[in-house]
Structure 1
Amino acid sequence: MKTISIGVAGCLLVALAACAGPGGASSSGTPSPSPRAAVELTSCGLPLRVTSPPRRAVSMEQGATEIMLTLGLADRMAGTAYRTDPVLDELKGDYDKVPVLAGQYPGREALLAAAPDFVYSMRASAYAPDAGGTRQDLAKLGVPAYLSSNDCEDHALIPASVSFDAVFAEIGDIAKIFGVEGRGRDVVADLRRRLDTAKTAARIGTNVKLMWYYSGTKTPAIAGRGGLPDTISTFLGAGNAFSDITQQWAEGDWETIARRDPDVIVLADLTRGGEGDSAEAKKAFLRSDPVASKLTAVKNDRFIVVPGSAMDPSIRSVSAVEQVSKGLQDLYR
């Protein structure tokens, strides 16, 4: 893990205005956001109060980073961390302007050294004591921290299934926190339009069963019930071949998979470089394995490739729908 080894900034424990340059602007020259009433939300069971639009936010993993950049908030970001895939092409220019605090999660010292006034992650692991620190501890330092409802620390608070509406509501929350509600509404309206287009286009007239294959070869990680792959399958009029598995992701075995014999295999294309991570590595394994090579989907080359990061709820959820929709059209029309 790569971290920044500098001390905690002196302006952390005082009002950020005291660290601003002349005329109330930040030292980088970014104008101060207009005054407004405090935003009060509940995030994964904890109250969250943001008294003014953040100016030094830190995103703690790629999903949060891309939502903020899509909302045009690069100039309000003091840092980002844990990029798992190349950033979306349309966001790369803005991403390159934001300091990278760590290759994975920054430790508490590195996080606080960035003097954040808001922290955002879609993963509870970002707030582990050995990562950025708990949200409660950050709140005691006057740093509100937002966590996506799909990965609450208390699993009882996580919805039984992923919904696009929950992703859109989160985009709305972040837009409200930063005082860019209009921009948030525009982003969500465009995502809804793209969803409708992809759903209409994917009407293939048959109950195709999909297997979502994330990683691993001997014990493949496959999508069960309730996660984004299950939601996408249903949304497009297809089915998840393993919807009876109660976990969102579970380790499978090829003998069981062979008995289910899915019609199409959706492959996660992971860039981390481990065994069987890339889509091409998965295809090579499937074609050479004595059991997997007998699957109907493998024999008929029925593969759809989706970036690994698009298999979790994020701004990429809609593009995952579009990619699977197009893949089904290509295979069945």
Structure 2
Amino acid sequence: MRPCLIALLTSSVLALPAVAQTSYPLELENCGSRLTFDAAPKNVVTVGQAATEILYELGLADKVIGTSVWFTGVLPEFAEVNAGIERLADNDPSFESVVAKRPDLVAVQYEWHIGPQGIVATRDQFADLGIPTYTLPTDCIGKDNTAGSDGTRLEMFTMDSLWQGVRDLARIFDVPERGEALVAELREREAAAIEAARTLDLRDASAVFWFSSAEMDMDPYVAGRRGPPAYMMEALGLRNVVESDEEWPVVSWENIARTNPSVIVIAEMDRRRFEADDVERKLEFLKSDPVTSQMEAVRNNRIVVINAHAMDPSIRNIAALEALADALPKLALP
């Protein structure tokens, strides 16, 4: 567990209301399923980096027996412990590889991996083997995962769904006080980043978040108007130039150029599924393409690089919020 979180846990005895230990059997409603735990799971397999890092932050790395679905390297403070845990797959694990670990719980980031049409399996398939699955609420609250490859947001993402996931996992593993302490730490950092951006008094600044592209010369995957990047933009006083409710819609560079965003935020990741996963290739494209090279943000070098996983619902959203708040004063925005 990180030193700052240990300190926060210590101080939380005085700063936070007393938190009762988990009372079992514990019953939870989770993304349309009802879960019952008679005791804290002895071990867990994660399908999704967000779930993995939440468990690590909660001091539960010793319970994790397998991980999968990695966009980028683990948070540096967990590099050593993560190196000793089996990685079932960099991307999508097989159903058989997860089941072979005989987990007491599978913690899931995306319903498209484990859900009604899960590419790994359905929740029922795991339940038939007596293995409960917990899906992070960030992927189901206010979201329709039956539409589009990454789903469609029905309402604006808020950090409340992330806090719920942290607290649920902490309760499941009978460490609720750690969950409350982690949420308190992240909320404090969130408020500070938002306040820092407010002092800039931005009038008409706009932005677009570019995650990747299937091919460099194809239309990019950019952040829709209701996902985590949209929340960040709204919180910091930036207008999202993309109006789609899809999580990561494909929008042409010609249409993006017409909206002339003040800032372009691009994702940096270790994954290399697509050529545009490479941040250097993204930068090269922006500066050389006849359309993008003429955009105000490119000509004025208003390009901000953030971790790709921080663009997905995860505890890294707060670090991304801080990074953007820190970058904005240096960009001479309107």
Q: TM-score range by the shorter chain?
A: 0.7 to 0.9
Matched residue, 1:104: 91
Residue 186 (1) aligns with residue 176 (2): no
Alpha-carbon distance, 1:143 to partner = 1.3
Alignment gaps of 5+ in structure 2: 1-20, 147-151
Of residues 272-281 and 220-229 in structure 1, the stretch that sits farther from structure 2 once superposed is 272-281
Written as runs of structure 1 = structure 2, the 5 A alignment for 1:233-248 is: 233-242=233-242, 244-248=243-247
**2:22–2:174 contact (8 Å) kept in structure 1:** no
Letter in 2 for 1:209: S
Matched residue, 1:143: 131
Alpha-carbon distance, 1:330 to partner = 2.1
Call closer, same or farther: CA 1:246–1:117 in 2, change over 3 Å: same
1:253-275 per-residue CA deviation (whole Å, 9 max, x = no partner) reads: 12211210000000111222332
**1:111–1:132 contact (8 Å) kept in structure 2:** no
1:108-134 per-residue CA deviation (whole Å, 9 max, x = no partner) reads: 222111110001011113226775421
**2:22–2:176 contact (8 Å) kept in structure 1:** no
Call closer, same or farther: CA 1:154–1:236 in 2, change over 3 Å: closer
Written as runs of structure 1 = structure 2, the 5 A alignment for 1:11-30 is: none
Residue 205 (1) aligns with residue 205 (2): no
Please give the alpha-carbon distance, in whole angstroms, between the structure 1 residues aligned to 2:254 and 2:121.
Answer: 42
Letter in 2 for 1:232: M
**1:127–1:135 contact (8 Å) kept in structure 2:** yes
**2:112–2:145 contact (8 Å) kept in structure 1:** no
**2:208–2:240 contact (8 Å) kept in structure 1:** yes
Please give the alpha-carbon distance, in whole angstroms, between the structure 1 residues aligned to 2:78 and 2:25.
Answer: 29
Residue 271 (1) aligns with residue 270 (2): yes
Larger radius of gyration: 1
Call closer, same or farther: CA 1:234–1:37 in 2, change over 3 Å: same
Alignment gaps of 5+ in structure 1: 1-33
Please give the alpha-carbon distance, in whole angstroms, between the structure 1 residues aligned to 2:22 and 2:244.
Answer: 49
Corresponding residue to 2:166 among 159, 167, 171 = 171
Matched residue, 2:261: 262
Corresponding residue to 1:76 among 50, 63, 71 = 63
Aligned length, in residue pairs: 299
Call closer, same or farther: CA 1:131–1:258 in 2, change over 3 Å: closer
Instruction: Tell me the SS of whatever aligns to 1:37.
Output: coil
Matched residue, 2:27: 40
Call closer, same or farther: CA 1:35–1:222 in 2, change over 3 Å: closer
Instruction: Tell me the SS of whatever aligns to 1:225.
Output: coil
Letter in 1 for 2:201: G
Alpha-carbon distance, 1:36 to partner = 4.6
**1:276–1:285 contact (8 Å) kept in structure 2:** no
Call closer, same or farther: CA 1:35–1:313 in 2, change over 3 Å: closer
Alpha-carbon distance, 1:140 to partner = 2.6
**1:236–1:325 contact (8 Å) kept in structure 2:** yes
Alpha-carbon distance, 1:327 to partner = 1.2
Instruction: Give RMSD over aligned pairs.
Output: 2.1
Matched residue, 1:306: 306
